[in-house]
Structure 1
């Protein structure tokens, strides 16, 4: 009895399992059939549409009599009758699609496969073409950056002299040497009817020796001399506004016109003040001497900040860190000295014609002696040192006793950069500014007959050579020449 019950239970479950498998098989077969029929429908519709379009085109070319009223569906159900009667030939499409379906049934999968393969080939070709274009563009960008880096500032140096609208310059080197010799012989011609303003250049806020000796030299002669207290690491336009305020303050406070002497970026800032605020400063400024100033720009700043060259973004980030973060300056202070910015500024702002101008530029020595030694040793005055001399000592002896040497190997650094500019561009320079870029159009150009680097005019040597002029005497000769130019222009 128990065996019979177990046998019936097994038969029941076997029957149930067979029924489940049969249903799954039927469902799978139905899904497969529907998928195939769906693909066939798509192919049939495309074929019928293609045939219909071709017959319509032929009917447009020849006189036809007929109707186009429909197409066939998959199961042969009549949708609309489709017939064309062409001249001389009759093409009739009836609504018996089962036979048509039988003919194309074996071709459905091959057609679908070829269509899939064709589309895959097209997409693959497009993908290859896209990546090929990206690689080509990348290679072009690399080549362009390399060429731009190698070319550097070759096309920009001396652009002021190449501009036909710029006024010619006058050579005043001979007269300068005469005035310098008179100054060294004790003949001082600077009148006290002017206020003399010395304008320092870039990074002067971090150089406490900047123009210190020159100011003391002028003050000993009884002249009103000041060093402009401006933020040297600010932009040119910002410093132009500061100088305008400074000049007006000196003029209204003393009733005397101001003589300007700007070194490096200080000369560019002063020229910008005269260009932008020419109406306000027209009767307050007697003259401007630009000493080693990159009025046309400098290749050093341009090569560092030029966009589109190799590692341009990385270099700019480094300079922004050094100038903006480390010394709390403005990156525009360096950017305004590039050729691009100087061209834009000069074309927008012109220097006034009624102010005497002097352009002083020099050439640094690149000899092995300068490169191997720290030839330029500056000094700093420390007034808080105790008075170690007796009461009868004169002021010069006291000042000499309070001088402390400061090792500044600037001559070696300037010689290296000057050699770099000479080898790369074939240009003479003082280490930072090329001689051609320092010449202001319409000015009197002064070129000394000795080798002077960019920092020589502001940092005096600790040991003065009695046979050689120093920076203080050269500044006096330049300002004396500027006074003469003003007198000549007023006649």
Structure 2
């Protein structure tokens, strides 16, 4: 009995649910039918209006003579149309209205769907065209970046020689070799009437032996020699201001003019000081020797920081982290060595004509033996070991206080020199091409042996007694600079 009651209850609820769903379906169908009829009526009204306007035009175009008997005149048609619209009566009052109604009643829905499909197709085509344009622009940007990366500094290397307003250079390599041979034979011609200032290059603050051997070599000859204490990782203009202060301090303290020898970026900083503060330093500086200095720029800095090439933003962020965060420097120290910045600076600031200039550049060896070796070794001095005052034993004691520190700069310079030779076909010392190191209006010195960029400031692991060292080359360069000053003063 209970099972029968449960069955009746279930049947009752099922019938109720069926009734609800059937009503919902009927309501949905009714709403759909009304919406379709509404759309059909709108389209039908527009079509009837179009046909009636065409009929009116045809009546008005018929020729008439005298009075318009048997035809509708314009005013009657206009009044009838107004009466027709305002009354809201059925459009089927005219003979053609009923036929039009039945003809277009079934075509309204297909026309609506055709219009929807057409607009959808146009929107889809526009979307495809937009994305196609974006992809095309993206591909063009990638191709442009790749081409700019591959092209690199091909058009910038040696721009100083191509500029017509730049003064020509003079080759002084033969005289330099003569003075170098005299120096090696014990003939020292450097006068003590000057103060000699050595200006280190980029990252020299992290190389404690930078120019140390050269300064000690000059001091043993009784010459006043100093190493400029500047922030090597600062911008060129900042270092130019510091050098200007340093030169004036040395001049007023000793009463002697200053001879400048700058290596790498140090030569660029010194040239900037003479260019910007030429009036203040005119009578205080006797000459400038730029040793392996990127006066015209360097492809290494330009290729690293060039905008518009592949991974330019990522490379710049890496360099900013290394220079600004890691070693507490300024990214402008590297930016100022790019071709773009050097062109801007040189065209704005000219070197004075009354100061003798020497441009020294070299070519690094790219032999496989050099690439595979660690021939250049820095030497750290142990300050806690005592010194013996006897000058005869000083060299031996000093040798005992030095500890070699392996720095494979020769291998690195050989690799970069090989890269520049294969990519651009340019000879270089590993960082600076020979053409970019030649200052317009200077005397150019080219050594007869292959030297990399770091040879002039760091000692070699195996020193050949028959070969000159960096100290003797610096002495020969400054001796030649003194001679140039004497010739200019005559």
TM-score (norm 2): 0.84
For residues 362-397 of structure 1, the C-alpha deviation after alignment (integer angstroms, 9 at most, x for no partner) is 01111222122222223233332135898973x333
Which stretch of structure 1 is more off in the superposition, 38-47 or 306-315? 38-47
Q: Is the 8 A contact 2:195 2:258 kept in 1?
A: yes
Q: Is the 8 A contact 2:292 2:359 kept in 1?
A: yes
Q: What does residue 402 of structure 1 align with?
A: 401
Instruction: Report the Cα distance in structure 2 between the residues aligned to 1:459 and 1:198, rounded to whole angstroms.
Output: 14
Instruction: Report the Cα distance in structure 1 between the residues aligned to 2:64 and 2:86, rounded to whole angstroms.
Output: 5
Deviation at 1:226, TM superposition (A): 1.0
Q: Is the 8 A contact 2:377 2:406 kept in 1?
A: yes
Deviation at 1:259, TM superposition (A): 1.3
**SS where residue 272 of structure 1 aligns?**
helix
Q: Is the 8 A contact 1:76 1:97 kept in 2?
A: no
Q: 1:416 to 1:117 in 2, by over 3 A?
A: same
**SS where residue 419 of structure 1 aligns?**
helix
**SS where residue 84 of structure 1 aligns?**
helix
**SS where residue 454 of structure 1 aligns?**
coil
Deviation at 1:344, TM superposition (A): 1.9
Q: 1:20 to 1:354 in 2, by over 3 A?
A: same
Q: 1:368 to 1:113 in 2, by over 3 A?
A: same
CA RMSD of aligned residues (A): 6.1
Q: Which structure's residues are more often helix, by fraction?
A: 2
For residues 114-163 of structure 1, the C-alpha deviation after alignment (integer angstroms, 9 at most, x for no partner) is 11111111111111111211222222222222222222222211111111
Q: 1:131 to 1:24 in 2, by over 3 A?
A: closer
Q: 1:334 to 1:63 in 2, by over 3 A?
A: farther
Which stretch of structure 1 is more off in the superposition, 401-410 or 298-307? 401-410
Q: 1:257 to 1:90 in 2, by over 3 A?
A: farther
Q: Is the 8 A contact 2:59 2:71 kept in 1?
A: no
Q: What does residue 469 of structure 1 align with?
A: 468
Q: 1:11 to 1:457 in 2, by over 3 A?
A: closer
For residues 310-341 of structure 1, the C-alpha deviation after alignment (integer angstroms, 9 at most, x for no partner) is 22222222222211221111122112211122
Instruction: Report the Cα distance in structure 1 between the residues aligned to 2:275 and 2:253, rounded to whole angstroms.
Output: 23
Unmatched segments (≥5 aa) in structure 1: none
Deviation at 1:172, TM superposition (A): 0.8
**SS where residue 80 of structure 1 aligns?**
helix
Instruction: Report the Cα distance in structure 1 between the residues aligned to 2:482 and 2:456, rounded to whole angstroms.
Output: 20
**SS where residue 318 of structure 2 aligns?**
helix
Deviation at 1:5, TM superposition (A): 17
Which stretch of structure 1 is more off in the superposition, 100-109 or 443-452? 100-109
**SS where residue 474 of structure 1 aligns?**
helix
Q: Is the 8 A contact 2:200 2:232 kept in 1?
A: yes
For residues 88-109 of structure 1, the C-alpha deviation after alignment (integer angstroms, 9 at most, x for no partner) is 9999998997765544322211
1:383-422 alignment runs, 5 A limit = 383-387=383-387, 393=393, 395-422=394-421
**SS where residue 334 of structure 2 aligns?**
helix
Deviation at 1:42, TM superposition (A): 4.7
Instruction: Report the Cα distance in structure 2 between the residues aligned to 1:311 and 1:198, rounded to whole angstroms.
Output: 38
Instruction: Report the Cα distance in structure 2 between the residues aligned to 1:70 and 1:299, rounded to whole angstroms.
Output: 97
Aligned length: 490
Q: 1:8 to 1:207 in 2, by over 3 A?
A: closer
